[in-house]
Structures are given as structure tokens and as C-alpha cells.
Chain A
Amino acid sequence: MLPEVSVKMNKSIKKKLIYQVNVFRSVFILLTICVFATFFSPDFLSVPNLFNVLKQITVAGIVGCGMTFVILTGGIDLSVGSIVGLAGVLSAGVLASTGNPVLAVLTAVGVGIICGAANGFFISQCGIPPFIATLGMMTLLRGCILVYTKGSPIPIKLDTYKFIGKGNIIGIPVPVIILILLLLLAHYILTQTAFGRSVYAFGGNREASRLSGISVKKTEWKVYIINGLLCGIAAIVLTARLGSAQSTSGEGIEMDAIAAVILGGTSLSGGVGFVLPTVVGAMIMGIIDNILTLMNVNPHATNIVKGAVILIAVLVDKKVKDLSAKAEQ
């Protein structure tokens, strides 16, 4: 009897341990990378540098929040980079012609919502797979940007607008404050509201959700609208920080955002995950960028390291999941 009992206990401890590792996996990766970073460059731990990292990741972080919603439903949005770009140039354009920052902000948010709603329409109402629908939108919106800007950047001259990207409130950069507020809001929506529940249920089992009286089409549509809205806000932050809107701005953000979500441990098949670890995922990507810069690594080589980290993280993820599945049995 006795050895059997101890095996059982061992199993339950192992199970708990694996569970903990599972939940805080992204934090573990982040801490490991921070240790390495301090080791490689003493400048890393300085306050200005850390704020710098945080500022760098705000755009990917905000977009990642929206992407988490999308991936929780089992979908994907490749068009986020183009939405950010279009919302940015139109916002800058409105600012240049009217000089009204409120109007410019509303434009960016509005463009984001409209683009997100269009994605959601094709996906939830027409049944086009998210990958295809947003791939089409990605190209289409990028084309709109080029037509509107004719390839040349639109400068931002108004300081009130630039404040959103460059200002500080009680010593904390405004973009970081915006990120934290949005993050808390997204977390609240996902965990405290009926809509959040529907998102998880939808991603876990669409048919069971439909038969349980959840409005699956509306839920899916709303998710893409939220994602679009967040892209609009990210566009404002990006444009204000750079001081101009360019035809290329936002390019590649989709990959950063998706990587952040995956590093955050959200399941690509949907139904499991949280929004807070997504930002941790974004921080991991940001810190890697930061150390490589501090270490004067050839900027062209950064992508190699970033890509490798994603692959390793996902590999570890799979191993941990297999282990926890075994422990369950």
C-alpha cells in the first residue's frame, strides 16, 4: 500500500508543479531573459532603459490585447498592422487639415472600429476563415494607405497630439499608462462579464455555445470590433511617438502581436488563455530587442534571435502541455 500512496502523492505534487509552471510560464521566460540581459549589459537595469523598453512595447502590447480576444475564439487577425497603419495616416491627415487633436483621435478610433467590423462581418456573417479574410484585408488596407499618402509621410506638428506618444504623467510615459489602462479593461471584460465568458465558450466549443443560447455570431463579430478599436488606439500612440505617419507604419505588428499572445500561453486553438500574460509576452520580445541593441548586435540579425526565441518558447510550451496531459491521466 505504502509505495502506492507515495506514488500518488508524488503525482499530485508533480501535477500541481506543472500547473504552476503552466500558468506562470511567460513570467518565468521573462525573468530568465532579464537575468541574461543584466548579465550581458549593466545598462539594462537602469530606470530610463526599462521605461524605454516599456514604451517600445506599448504598440505591440495594445494590439496584442486585441489579438488575445481574437485568438481566444480560435481565430487570427493578420490585418492588424494595416489597420494600425491606415488609422495612423488618416488620423495624421485629419490633424494636418483641421488642427483638431480630438477629431484626429476620433478618426483613428473610428477607422479601427470600421476595419474591425469589416473583418468581423466577413468572418462571422459570411463564414470566411479568419486567416483568409484578414489576409485579404491586410493587403487591401495597405493599398488604401499607399493611395492616401502617395508614399510620403505625414508629419505631426501639434504638441498636444505628440504628448500622447511622448509625454509623461507623474514621471510615467503616457503610452505606458494607456497600455496599463487598456490591459486592465481587457482583463476585466474577459474575466468579469458575460461577454468574456462567451468568448471563452466560443473558442472552446462553438457548437455547444450556440446550443447553450450564446449568440455566437455576435460574439465573434464583437471580438473583431474590439480588436480593430485597439488597433486604432495603438495607431494614435505609434503616430504620436514617431511624430509622423508613414505608409509603412504598422508593418509587421501582426507578427509581434501574435508572438506576444503565444508567448503569453494562449492556446492557438482557442478557449484557454488570458490577456495579462500577452503583455508579458510583448515584454519578452521588447527586452530581446533591447539587449541586442545594447550589445550592439547587427540590427539585421535581431530577427534571427526573435524568431528563435518564439520557436523555443513554443517547443517548451508543447512539452509542458504534453507533460500536464500525462499528469492528468
Chain B
Amino acid sequence: MQDKELILKLDSIVKVFPGVKALDGVQLEVRAGEVHALCGENGAGKSTLMKIISGAQSYTSGKIIMEGEEVVFHSTKDAERRGIAMIYQEFNMVRDLSVAENMYLGRLPKTKLGMVDWKKLYQDAQEVLNKLGLKFNCKTKVRNLSVAESQMTEIAKCLTIGAKVIIMDEPTAALTDDEIKVLFGIIDELKKKNIAILYISHRMDEIFQISDRLTVFRDGKYIATKNIEDTDYDDVVSMMVGRNVTNLYPVRQYQPQEVVFELQNINSKGIFDLNMKLYKGEILGIAGLLGSGNIELSKVIYGALPMKHGDILINGKKKDCSSPIKAIAAGIGFISDDRKQEGLVLIRNVKENISMSSLKKLTKGIQLDKKLEKKRVNDQVKRLNIKISSIQQNTGNLSGGNQQKVVFAKVLEANPTICIFDEPTRGVDVGAKAEIYTIMDQLTKDGKSIILISSDLPELIGMSDRVLIMREGKIVMEVSKSEANQEIILAHASGGVSENE
């Protein structure tokens, strides 16, 4: 491996967002023909780094050196021209055009008359598909492809633009086991063609299966680069987590109490006959990989997604939670995993965002009681330690941690007894994380119960009193706090262990 040439080198890259240093002097060396995995927890800076490499985002300082030459990318087009292509989690394709057209979008071959040379287009496209061993026709519309097939098309497209480095961000997240095998086969093909692959995945087993080297990031800092033979799972995890875990999570003193919330035979899209119980004052973690149905379940309970059938019981009584309005009235609070799209109105101020779920309570007669509103909002700001210059500030200008605290304030303002938190610390810096954990601990002491859904396993284990593991829309395992560890959760969540074992 060592003798392979260096193709891409990043040197002390710094990226500052308002209020957060997302990357702090990061370095990375990529060699031709290697699969280089990037490891790190959420918020470690992997995605930001990838966006910088692919030209989607600018950086504050540092150098990018491609094939011995310093380069600056102003756009993804720039990066593509230099041979760096990214395959996004959400695919960037025109769904109503054919595979071939998508592969050559913006670069369609032309005849002398200036018309599209369809014959050449289809010939070239099919040739690339065949080379990769793909079995679908290049004239198929992208709309009719499976997720895996559209991903393969993206990879084929990277080949047509002559990519030397291909970035794959969680490429297996939406794939089945068989499709993953095909993808890995293709990655092997790409390696043989001397193409470097930057591979991001949360699935540790995959990283050890296919990568040659890996680089670990933590809290925006470079930690280490290692050959895959020289490291093991525990080593990588300890590098990823690094910090003193016990300080981050409050010591939970949960004493079993009565059941306050129960789901009976919940059925919905991707969720099958699900039953669970939640106890008063408990933090119940629900673990699961992408597509396991845990996020969907939380939205079904809150009425944001339709439920086919099933019952939701609060304090033993059936409640109608078919819409967020009804769910809030029944005492359920919900924090979405996507605060920018589903949590906040970014163009409105902190005050309006915080009182959004409790407008009825703040109305006296026909008009809003603005004095009461201001008092309540200020109380929440103080209680949650939200750092803002004024409650008139737009939420769009706040840092991730403060934005998330505004979402917390909004939900708590509606005074729920059951709180569902999806990825409550996604994109939040470590300091704010610890504060959010303390808030959660305090909430349970006040008699509220929390359902915590997180892909950040240390967080899930650190905070939960009990962990349910979901896979393919079902709960496959329940572990208590003392038994919970990353291996058990990952093994059951990925289906590595059959239920009888």
C-alpha cells in the first residue's frame, strides 16, 4: 500500500461557522487506489470536510493539494474538473431523464449539427455500465430505478467525468445486504482502476471489511490515520469517543415507577405490530440503523406520519394522536431530528419560535398576552441557558446548539409529560451537548418520561435507563442500562445476531 502515490492532500484546514469551529486544522492524505474510511461521531466534522473537498463549501484557511498542485475549488464543478466527485446521501439526479442522460448531464455528446448524438450517448453510457457489471439498461428512466441502482448510476457518472477521487457518504444506508455486496464489488473494480475512495460510514464492520486505511476525527480535530491491519474496532472507537465519557452524561438515578405510556400493536409504513411501555421518569432509548423504523415510529406516535392501526395509551387511557395538535393536547412533546426543516422557522425570531406550540395558552380573549409571552420566553431562555443577544434575534443566525435549545424551549413551553427526542444533539457542539443531557435528566426528575432516539450510540447508552433495539420495523431486543454496550446494540440492530441466540 505504502508505495502508492499520494493523490490528494489536505493541510491544516480550518472552517469556522458563526459561533462554531467546525474544523480545526484538519489534515488528510489520500492515495490513489485506496479505500480510505473517515470515522468520527456526529458533529466530528466529517461531512463538513467532505463538502470542502468536493467544493460544495468554502473553508476559512488551509490548503488542498491535488496531485502535487495546490487547488482552490469554488464549486462542485471545479472539483469535478479536477477529478473529485461526491456521491451524496440524497441523490442528485433528474428523475425523469434516462440513466445515460443523467450520466452525461451538461456534457451530452453532440453531432456536427449541434444536436444530441443519441447513438454515441447510449453506446458510451452502456459501455460504462457494462464495465461496472451493472445489469440495467442505460435508457431506463432514473425514476424507475431502485435506490441501489440510482446509486450505481451516480458511481458510473463519476467514472464518465474521469474522477480520481470518489467520496461516498453513507453509501450503504439505504441498501439491502445483497445490494451492499454489489456495491463492494464495484468498489473493488474502482480500486483496480486506481481510483481513490473516501468512505464515510457509521457501520464499523463495513469499514473494516473494505477499507485500506482510516482517519479518525473528533470534535473538528484530526486524531490519527492508521492502516487497517494496525488497528481494531476498540482502538477506533476509543479514538472516536476520546473524551471522558462519564463527565458528559449525568449520573441517572432512575427508580422504576408506574407505566405512563404504552403502544399496542402499532402498524404503519415500515412498522409492524409494535408494542412498548414507557415508565414514569424513565429515559427509554430506541436504537436502530437508518431504515429500522425508529425515527418513523416517533413521528407516528406524534401524529406527524399516519398510523394504519394500533393504540396509544397514556396513563392507561386510549388517546387520539392522529395529528401533532392532538398529540400535544394529549401531552406528547416532539423534537424532530431535522431542526432546520422541521423544528424551527429560521426567518422568525427566538420569541416567536419558542411560543409557537403554546399560542392558545398565551391568548387572553382574542389577543396574545405579549407581557406573559415575554416573561415565559425569557424564563425558558434563562432556564436552558440559551445564548442570544435578544429574543428578537432570528433563529437562523444562531449556532446549532442554541438553535436546538430553542427547539427544546418550544417543546417544553407546551408542558408535555411524554417527550420524544429524535437526535437531540445532532450537529451540536460538546458543551451544549452536556447541557442538553442535564436538561433531559432534570426533566425526568420533574416526572416527565423521555423516549430518546439517537444514532450516536455512546449518547444512547449514556443517557438511557433502558434500550430497545429496532430492526426492519420491529423491536428485536431489549437491554437494560447495565447490559447495554455498542457491540450488542450494533449486532442486533444490523441483524448480525439472530433473535434466538
Q: Are B363 and A207 in contact (CB under 8 A)?
A: no
B20 at the interface (CB under 8 A from A): no
CB distance from B66 to the nearest CB of A (A): 28
Binds A, one of B201-209, B335-343, B484-492: B335-343
B4 lies within 8 A of chain A by Cβ: no
Contact code string A196-229 (vs B, CB < 8 Å = 1, else 0):
0110110011011111111100000000000000
B362 contacts A215, CB within 8 Å? no
Bound together, the chains give a CA A197 to CA B354 distance in angstroms of 12
CB of B414 within 8 A of CB of A204, answer no
Distance between Cα atoms of A271 and B370 in the complex (Å): 20
B347 touches A271 (CB 8 A): yes
User: A192, A197, A208, A329: which contacts B341 (Cβ < 8 A)?
Assistant: A208
Bound form: Cα–Cα A200–B367 in Å: 16
Pair A213/B324 contact, Cβ less than 8 Å = yes
Question: Are A214 and B368 neighbours in the complex by a CB distance under 8 Å?
Answer: no
A328 partner residues in chain B, CB cutoff 8 A: 397
Whether B357 pairs with A194 at a CB distance below 8 angstroms is: no
The residue that B324 contacts in the complex, of A198, A201, A210, A272, with Cβ under 8 A, is: A210
A20 within 8 A of B: no
CB distance from A38 to the nearest CB of B (A): 37
> B299-321: contact bitstring with A at CB < 8 Å (1 yes, 0 no)?
00010100000000000000000
Residues of B near A197 (CB, < 8 A) are: 352, 355-356, 359, 368
B362 partner residues in chain A, CB cutoff 8 A: 194
B280 at the interface (CB under 8 A from A): no
Q: Which residues of B contact A198 (CB under 8 A)?
A: 359
- How far apart sit A144 and B324, CA to CA, in the bound complex (Å)? 40
How far, in Å, is B376 (CB) from chain A's closest CB?
A: 14
From known contacts A192-B368, A201-B352, infer whether A211 and B346 are also in contact, taking CB-CB under 8 Å. Answer: no
Q: Tell me if A193 and B344 are in contact (CB < 8 A).
A: no
Given A207-B342, A208-B341, A211-B304, the answer on whether A200 and B324 have CB atoms closer than 8 Å is no
B-chain residues with CB within 8 Å of residue A209 when the two chains form the complex: 345, 356
- Known contacts A192-B367, A194-B368, A207-B341; is-contact A212 B410 (Cβ 8 Å): yes
Most chain A Cβ neighbours within 10 Å, of B328, B368, B410: B368
The CA of A186 and the CA of B368, in the complex, are separated in Å by 15
Question: What's the nearest-Cβ distance from chain A to residue B320, in Å?
Answer: 14
Closest A residue, CB atoms, query B396: A328
Question: Given A194-B360, A197-B359, A272-B347 in contact, is the A208-B325 Cβ separation under 8 Å?
Answer: no
Closest-by-CB residue of B relative to A193 is B367
**Secondary structure class of chain A's binding surface, majority of residues:** helix
A214, B356: Cβ atoms under 8 Å?
yes
User: From B363, which residue of chain A is reached at the shortest CB distance?
Assistant: A194
Question: When chains A and B are docked, how far (Å) is the Cα of A197 from the Cα of B348?
Answer: 10
Judge whether B366 is part of the interface by a CB distance below 8 angstroms. Answer: yes
Taken together as a complex, chains A and B put the C-alpha atoms of A267 and B439 apart, in Å, by: 37
List, in ascending order, chain B residues with CB within 8 A of A193's CB: 363, 366-368
Choose among A204, A208, A213 the residue that contacts B343 (Cβ–Cβ < 8 A): A208
Rounded to whole angstroms, the CA-CA distance of A215 and B360 in the bound complex is 12
Q: Do the beta carbons of A208 and B345 come within 8 Å of each other?
A: yes
A129 to chain B, nearest CB (A): 19
Closest to A204 in B: B345
A270 to B, closest residue via Cβ? B347
- Cα-based distance from A272 to B352 in the complex (angstroms): 13
A229-277 at interface with B (beta carbon < 8 Å): 271-272
Do B359 and A214 touch (CB < 8 A)?
Answer: yes
Residues of A with C-beta under 8 A to B360: 194
Tell me the smallest distance from the CB of B187 to a CB of chain A, in Å: 36
A271 and B304 contacting across the interface, CB-CB below 8 Å: no
State how many residues of chain B have any CB contact under 8 Å with chain A.
32
> Is A200's CB under 8 angstroms from B341's CB?
no
Question: Could you tell me the distance in whole angstroms from the C-beta of A188 to the nearest C-beta in chain B?
Answer: 8
Q: Tell yes or no: B334 within 8 A of A by CB.
A: yes
Interfacial chain A residues near B367, Cβ < 8 Å? 188, 192-193
Q: Which partner residue on chain B sits nearest A213 by CB separation?
A: B328
Q: Tell me whether B325 and A215 are in contact (CB under 8 A).
A: yes
Note all chain A residues with C-beta closer than 8 A to B328.
213
Which residues in window 261-280 of B have CB below 8 A to A?
A: none
Closest chain A residue to B359, Cβ basis: A194
Which chain B residue lies CB-closest to A188?
B367
Query: In the complex, what residues of A have CB within 8 A of residue B352's CB?
Result: 197, 200-201
Q: Are A208 and B324 in contact (CB under 8 A)?
A: no
B348 and A200: CB pair below 8 A? yes
Q: With a CB–CB cut-off of 8 A, which chain B residues contact A188?
A: 367
Q: How far is the CB of A210 from chain B (nearest CB, A)?
A: 6
Q: Which residues of B contact A207 (CB under 8 A)?
A: 341-342
Provide the A291-329 mask, 1 if CB < 8 A to any CB of B, else 0. Answer: 000000000000000000000000000000000000011
CB pair A204–B359 under 8 Å, yes or no, is no
Find A208's partner among B327, B344, B355, B363 (CB 8 Å cutoff). B344
Taking CB atoms, residues of chain A closer than 8 Å to B370 are 192
Q: Complex formed: what's the CA distance from A119 to B341 in Å?
A: 27
Give CA–CA (A213, B345) in the complex, Å.
13
| A328–B346 alpha-carbon span in the complex (Å) | 14
Contact with A along B232-263 (1 / 0, CB 8 A): 00000000000000000000000000000000
Query: A198 CA to B357 CA in the complex, in Å?
Result: 10
For the complex, give the distance between the alpha carbons of A271 and B396 in Å: 13
Chain B: which residue is nearest A205 at the CB level? B345
**CB closest residue in chain B, given A194:** B359
Contact A211:B345 (CB < 8 A) given known A194-B363, A194-B368, A197-B368: no
- Is A271 a contact partner of B345 (Cβ separation < 8 A)? yes
A202 CB to nearest chain B CB (Å): 9
Q: How far is the CA of A207 from the CA of B342 in the complex (A)?
A: 6
Chain B 344-387, CB-CB to A under 8 Å as 1, else 0, gives 11111000100111011011001110100000000000000000
Contacts of B325 in A (CB 8 A): 213-215
Q: Please measure, in the bound complex, the distance between the C-alpha atom of A204 and the C-alpha atom of B342, giving whole angstroms.
A: 11
Contact of B347 among A192, A204, A211 (CB under 8 A): A204
Task: State in angstroms the CA–CA spacing of A287 and B324 once bound together.
Answer: 48
Given that A192-B368, A210-B324, A212-B356 are known contacts, is A201 also in contact with B345, CB under 8 Å in the complex?
A: yes
Report the Cα distance A201→B353, complex, angstroms: 8
B contact residues around A215 at 8 Å (CB) = 325
Q: CA–CA, A271 to B347, complex, Å?
A: 7
- What are 28 A-B contacts with C-beta separation under 8 Å? A192-B367, A193-B366, A193-B368, A194-B363, A197-B352, A197-B368, A200-B352, A201-B352, A205-B344, A205-B346, A205-B347, A208-B341, A208-B343, A208-B345, A209-B345, A209-B356, A210-B304, A211-B304, A211-B334, A211-B343, A212-B324, A212-B357, A213-B327, A271-B345, A271-B347, A271-B348, A328-B397, A329-B18
Q: Known pairs A213-B357, A215-B325. 15 more at Cβ < 8 A?
A: A193-B366, A194-B360, A197-B355, A200-B352, A201-B348, A204-B347, A208-B342, A208-B343, A210-B324, A211-B334, A211-B342, A213-B327, A214-B356, A271-B345, A271-B347
Chain A contacts to B: CB under 8 angstroms: 188, 192-194, 197-198, 200-201, 204-205, 207-215, 271-272, 328-329
Instruction: Report, nearest first, the 8 A-B pairs whose CB atoms are least far apart.
Output: A204-B345, A194-B359, A213-B328, A212-B356, A205-B345, A192-B367, A212-B357, A204-B347
